[in-house]
Chain A
Amino acid sequence: MDVMSQLQRQWLEHSAFLRKEGYLDDQFEQLQKLQDESSPDFVIEVVSIFFDDSEKLLSNMARALEQKVVDFKQVDAHVHQFKGSSASIGAMRVKNVCIEFRNYCEAQNLEECLRCTRKLQFEYSVLKNQLEYLFRLEQQIRAAGG
């Protein structure tokens, strides 16, 4: 099998894996459908914005939970935003943690909220690694394809 086919196969397998394991859902495919010659880097662009946005939100969440008197409405606002953005790119696992997190915000349960932050951080990191791997493969494919 030549290099190109190998890379393409790896890309397909990794994509399928991400779908199967629930890291990504249908929405990610919707993003891919929107990518074409006129917007060849659309997916990477959106996901990059997502990464920046997410890191900001995670740090805001952490800071809000560190306050002497925690403003759970504020925490919830950040989580709500994160839920929205993760849903928009198809980051299903991250989105699901956000849903859980919001329940604990409403219940004003600090311990559970802190646990959710850690879980969210974890899921986000894993997703980021997975997507960066996928994008690296794409880069290699482009390079091999000329």
Chain B
Amino acid sequence: MGMSTESQFHVLAVDDSIIDRKLIERLLKTSSYQVTTVDSGTKALEFLGLHEDDESNPETPSVSPNNHQEVEVNLIITDYCMPGMTGYDLLRKIKESSSLRDIPVVIMSSENVPSRISRCLEEGAEEFFLKPVRLSDVNRLRPHMMKTKLKDPKQENEENKEESGKPESRSQEEKEEQQQHHQQQQLHHLPQQQHSNSNKRKALEEGLSPDRTRPRYNGLTTVV
């Protein structure tokens, strides 16, 4: 499955909240991604090598004549509600840029507003995550990043099947198993017992919560 390529994926996270930046950074690092966090859309565009009046300014030091970004970014995840440039504004600017439009963009928001969600998806966002973002959300990012790497279509289809095959609802048996894990996990969270790595990893893999009632949105869903 080419797991070794994971460490090469670089995600740019944009959020004006320092706590959420810390959280998303940890979530992404836990998933073995390289992370850069910025606190505004403007800084994000700067990092990506795109400036407001880029096209006509040959003297901008960080942009090569071909408008290539300095650092490769495989995915951008941004908060929606930010002062100044919103996540939506940022999304639009990225999709309007010939050099950046192929980078997958994911939007996060603490508010569940269907019209907001559909607007973002229509503008080209790959996914829309409701905050607080969880590991199970971050697990959905990989296929989008895989698409940007050169690979044969067949392998890509297989991976997409794997990801979308994960059931959102959990069977009763699995729920019970998770209850038991919950008990074990409590002990393993205690600072002294750091050897519980294998259980923790298993817990991470079972990060999908059984009682998730919030809607999941991705590019395949048409939201009215």
Contact = CB atoms under 8 A, between A and B. Distances in A.
The answer to whether A and B come from one shared complex is yes
Interface of A: 4, 8, 11-12, 15, 26-27, 29-40, 42, 45-46, 49-50, 53, 80-81, 83-85, 87-90, 138, 141-142, 144-145
B187 A8 contact: yes
A87 B17 contact: no
A141 B189 CA distance: 11
A84 B110 contact: yes
Contacts, number: 83
B17 A36 contact: no
Nearest to B207: A33
Please classify the interface of chain A as helix (H, G, I), strand (E, B), loop, or mixed, using the class held by over half of its residues.
Answer: helix
Contacts of A42: 26
Contact of B17 (A4, A29, A88): A88
A88 B187 CA distance: 23
Contacts of A36: 30, 194, 197, 200
A49 B22 contact: yes
Given A26-B209, A33-B204, A34-B26, A49 B18 contact: yes
B192 interface: yes
A11 B188 CA distance: 12
A108 B187 CA distance: 47
B131 interface: yes
Contact of A35 (B18, B189, B209): B189
B23 interface: yes
B23 A87 contact: no
Nearest to B192: A145
A80 B192 CA distance: 37
Contacts of B29: 38-39
B190 A84 contact: no
* Residue among B19, B20, B134 facing the most chain A CB atoms (10 A cut-off): B19
B184 to A, nearest CB: 12
Nearest to B211: A26
Nearest to B209: A26
Nearest to A89: B19
Given A81-B17, A141-B192, A46 B132 contact: no
B167 interface: no
A16 to B, nearest CB: 8
Given A8-B192, A11-B190, 7 more contacts: A33-B204, A36-B30, A36-B194, A49-B19, A84-B20, A85-B17, A85-B19
